[in-house]
Structures are given as structure tokens and as C-alpha cells.
Structure 1
């Protein structure tokens, strides 16, 4: 399961930060510690096993009572996770549970 793999790699420090993720995190005032917390303690709300180059997932967690989404890919062969982006979901795109995308 992707969740277990991501938790394991984050706890081992085997996390790589994509340039896009770091740029967006700076723009959005999101810290690496927040992203790590969401990946370890948050909920995997979407899983995309056929994504390329690696299976990916969308995690939801709360930092200071504010929802945070983190998109991460998992390279199981080399045992690394890749943070793709992080953002605060909004009600324009998600239902109030911040798990369900609006249609």
C-alpha cells in the first residue's frame, strides 16, 4: 500500500523535494515539517497507481486546524518518495470534507 511505503520512507529521511513543490511551498508559506507531518499522520484520500513515473497519492492533513493537501510519488524500487506539490484546498474545488473533489 502506498500509505505505508510513504510513511516508511519519510521516517527514514528518504524524501526528495521536487523543484515545483519547493517553489509552491515558498509561495504558499508551507513548511517542510508541515508536509512531513501530513505524509506521516494524514490520510491518503486519492491513490493513482498508474501515474508516471511513479505511483502517486494525495494526502490530507491539518496544520493548525487548516487543511493541507500533499501530492507525493513513491519509487518503491529505489525506496524514495517525491513530494510533487503541497497546497491548501479550497471549497471551490473540494467539498467541505476537503477529501471529495467537486464535479
Structure 2
């Protein structure tokens, strides 16, 4: 996945948000605007080319001075699907970009 392609699809509202991502978004107080902003300034932190559910990636970005992680992939019509979104923190993350030992992908 390429960050520029993801940004372009987000910019033109060619994305959907999974039910799981919606639950996480509300739990973490992440707005749609936060999600879009984090992608617009973010970078791909991890690429999951061999994921059994299809190619996906982890984007690390910021909004409202908070780090935000977004896992996304493609839908069957090549839109972006937001799989999950969260604020990186212990026990899975040591800091914004560093997984804790045993922090699963």
C-alpha cells in the first residue's frame, strides 16, 4: 500500500470504517476529522502484504497533538477500509513507533 494513494482516497471520501474501528474510535475519543488528519500527515509504520484478509498497513499520524494509529486495507472495489484506529500506549507500545516486547502485530 502507498501512503499517497491512501491519502487521495481519504480526501475524496472513498473509504469506509469498520464496526470495530467505530467502537475503538469512540472509546479513544478520535473524531472522523482526527482520523483524516492523522492519515494526511502520517506515514506507513508497518506493511502487512501477506495478511490473510488482504494487503493492509499501519499508519502512524497525529491530530490534536496526539499520536494515532490507523490500520487500513482495501475493500473489494478498491476503496480504503479503516480496520481499526487507536492511540498507541502500553502494554502494546513503548512509544508512538516502538512495539513493546510481545506486542502483537
- Scaled to the shorter chain, the TM-score interval is 0.7 to 0.9
In structure 2, distance between residues paired with 1:95 and 1:27: 20
**Which runs of 4 or more aligned residues in structure 1 lie more than 6 Å from their structure 2 counterparts after TM superposition?**
none
Query: Paired residue for 2:30?
Result: 30
Q: How does 1:1-103 map to 2 (within 5 A)?
A: 1-75=1-75, 78-96=77-95, 98-103=96-101
CA positional deviation for 1:57:
0.8
Is 1:6–1:74's contact at 8 Å kept on the other side of the alignment?
Answer: no
Is 1:41–1:61's contact at 8 Å kept on the other side of the alignment?
Answer: yes
The unaligned stretches of length 5 or more in structure 1 are: none
TM-score, normalised on structure 2?
0.84
SS at match of 1:57: strand
The unaligned stretches of length 5 or more in structure 2 are: none
In structure 1, distance between residues paired with 2:20 and 2:53: 16
Cα deviations by residue, 1:41-78 (Å, 9 ceiling, x for unpaired): 11110110112332111111122221111111124x62
In structure 2, distance between residues paired with 1:7 and 1:34: 14
The Cα RMSD (Å) is 1.7
Q: Report the count of equivalent residues.
A: 101
